[in-house]
Amino acid sequence: MPPGFVRYFGGGNYAGVLVVMVGLWAGWQALRRRDSVFSMEQRRWLWFWLVLALGSFLLALGRFAPFYRLVYALPYFSTIRNPVKFIYLVSFILVVLFGYGVDGLWRKYLVR
């Protein structure tokens, strides 16, 4: 633990309920084997984004993640002073998942 008082301020990342729900719907559609709105190629891209989001979120936990010491030992990885920077990547991935989700909802319910 660092000595002294640890200050927690700011740093609040808010994606929005609608963005997260539509992104989760897109992720759920990617995991469905049958009756998915997305093609197999789109589902593979969604799997990529989901795995990248999960990995980035776990890296954002920093020293509280059990595997962070292993990753921190990699060359040039120790130059990242603040692991919370990985939350920016998670936020970007949420926007990508939201885009896939809006496209999927459009094709499923509005295009006949």
How far the first Cα of the chain sits from its last, in Å, is 58
In the chain, what percentage of residues exceed pLDDT 90? Answer: 46
| Per-residue pLDDT reduced to its tens digit, 4-18 | 666 655 566 788 999
Q: Is residue 14 part of a domain?
A: no
Where b means 16+ CB within 10 Å and e means fewer, 62-96 reads eeebeebeeeeeeeeeeeeeebeebbebbeebbeb
Q: Mention every residue, 6+ apart, whose C-beta is less than 8 A from residue 107.
A: 37
Q: How many domains does the chain have?
A: 1
Domain limits for position 84: 23-110
CA–CA dist 56, 43 (Å, integer): 20
Q: What are the pLDDT tens digits along the chain (112 aa)?
A: 667 666 655 566 788 999 999 999 999 999 888 888 999 999 999 999 999 999 988 888 887 777 888 888 888 877 877 777 888 899 999 999 999 999 999 998 887 6
pTM: 0.79
Q: Is residue 11 part of a domain?
A: no
